[in-house]
Amino acid sequence: MLIQGISKWAKVTGEPVWGYQNAHKEWSIDLYLNEETVHKLETEGLGEKIKDKGNGQYITFKRKELKHDGSPNQPIRVVDHHGEPWNPKVKIGNGSTVNVNFAINEYGKGLKSANILSMQVWNLVGFEGGEFPTREDNEGDWAKEVAE
């Protein structure tokens, strides 16, 4: 499945970073969605994956650094709007328009997951700042920052 949205917290290039509560390293992106895309995902059974913290509806895509067997995972394939490999030194800023290609997998009793396969940066908004902050660093204020 292929969808387009607005990126926030794009940590998809370079080395993986520690995820939520430092449980494991991962690559991740929050993709903010328009109503049409929300409906499309709900129709596919992914409604429970859509979140809203007051600044718009989004879905989070993640890929862990290590597979279940402990072997290394490949980073998310990222390309530019021409389909050329992305320069991993260029960080993708909040507000960039991206296309995300993902697979829907079923697990358990009718539960579904959205596993990111690749991503295309359609319209880059440059990242401003130093290192990526973590959500824990900005607890409570991160939603305001990404909305800007």
Reported pTM: 0.82
Closest listed residue to residue 58, CA positions, set 141, 130, 143, 148: 143
Q: Which of 12-21, 32-41, 87-96, 124-133 has the highest mean pLDDT?
A: 32-41
Contact, 25 vs 19, CB < 8 A? Answer: yes
3-state secondary structure of 3: strand
pLDDT at 129: 62
How far out from the chain centre does Cα 138 lie? 18
pLDDT at 109: 82
pLDDT of 143 above 50:
no
Greatest CA separation found in the chain?
43
pLDDT at 21: 81
pLDDT of 44 above 70:
yes
How far out from the chain centre does Cα 82 lie? 20
pLDDT of 145 above 50:
no
Q: Which of 15-24, 34-43, 137-146 has the highest mean pLDDT?
A: 34-43
pLDDT tens-digit readout, 118-142 = 999 999 998 876 554 444 433 344 3
Cα–Cα dist 113/28, whole Å: 14
pLDDT tens-digit readout, 57-105 = 999 999 999 999 999 999 999 999 999 999 988 999 999 999 999 999 9
Contact, 4 vs 97, CB < 8 A? Answer: yes
CA 19-22-23 angle, 5° bins: 85
Contact, 19 vs 28, CB < 8 A? Answer: yes
Cα–Cα dist 65/71, whole Å: 9
Instruction: State the average pLDDT over residues 29-45.
Output: 97
Domains of the chain by start residue, with CATH: 2-135 (2.40.50.140)
